[in-house]
């Protein structure tokens, strides 16, 4: 499958909420395959359809190539723990820039499979962080919005300098 161009921050489409997927067909499967190849090439461990300019609620996560990719269609957080975890996050749309984000340690997510079957899953640790990060993106919340204004401004400045020097 083709590796698609990834939108770069501050593209306004990265702040647009994605629409629910309604058609579970070969087009959706092809889009998921393109996302997987694009994410691996970036490289990254998670990507959403909006990252490539397709405003649909689809995300692919692959924490470990040996375990294979996970595909989530129309994911929603149903429950989140009060206990939190801090982890360095970044984005394939803002390569080379990371900062610590605090999120709930555990969550329960409801989503559909690539075939359209409704299911749910509990996640903690890195998978929980990735799911929350990608669901935020599907909701039009770019990860920088989870930082304090000072940290956000510093990250944007670093990214801007990187573009001028790269």
DSSP string, 41-86: HTT-SEEEGGGGT--BSEEEE-S-TTT--EEEEEEEEEEE-S-EEE
pLDDT over threshold 60, residue 166: no
CA angle 73/21/120 to nearest 5° reads 30
Question: Is 90 exceeded by the pLDDT of residue 8?
Answer: yes
For position 163, what pLDDT does the model report?
A: 75
> Of the listed 22, 121, 122, 134, which one is catalytic?
134
Sheet of strand 58-61: strand arrangement:
46-48, 58-61, 70-80, 106-112, 118-124
Examine the pLDDT at 1 and tell me if it is beyond 70.
no
131 in Cβ contact with 48 (< 8 Å): no
What is the biggest distance separating any 2 CA atoms in the chain, rounded to whole angstroms?
47
CB 134 within 8 A of CB 111: no
Give the mean model confidence (pLDDT) for residues 20-30.
98
Distances (CA, A) of 15 to 12, 59, 126, 143: 5, 16, 24, 10
pLDDT tens for residues 27-78? Answer: 999 999 999 999 999 999 999 999 999 999 999 999 999 999 999 999 999 9
- CATH 3.40.50.720, applies to 12-156: no
Instruction: State yes or no: is 121 an active-site residue.
Output: no
Q: What pTM value is reported for the model?
A: 0.95
pLDDT at 98 over 80: yes
């Amino acid at each position: 499958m083709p590796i698609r161009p990834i939108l770069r921050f501050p593209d306004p489409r990265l702040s647009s909420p994605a629409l629910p997927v309604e058609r579970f067909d070969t087009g959706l499967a092809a889009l998921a395959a393109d996302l997987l190849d694009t994410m691996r090439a970036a490289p990254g461990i998670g990507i959403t359809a909006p990252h490539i300019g397709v405003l649909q609620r689809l995300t692919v996560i692959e924490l470990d190539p040996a375990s294979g990719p996970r595909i989530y269609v129309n994911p929603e957080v149903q429950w989140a723990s009060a206990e939190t975890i801090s982890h360095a996050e970044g984005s394939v749309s803002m390569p080379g820039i990371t900062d610590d984000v605090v999120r709930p340690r555990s969550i329960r997510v409801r989503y559909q499979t690539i075939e359209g079957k409704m299911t749910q899953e509990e996640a903690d640790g890195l998978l929980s962080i990735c799911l929350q990060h990608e669901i935020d993106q599907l909701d039009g919340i770019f990860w920088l919005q989870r930082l304090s204004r000072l940290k956000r401004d510093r990250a944007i400045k670093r990214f801007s300098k990187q573009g001028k020097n790269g």
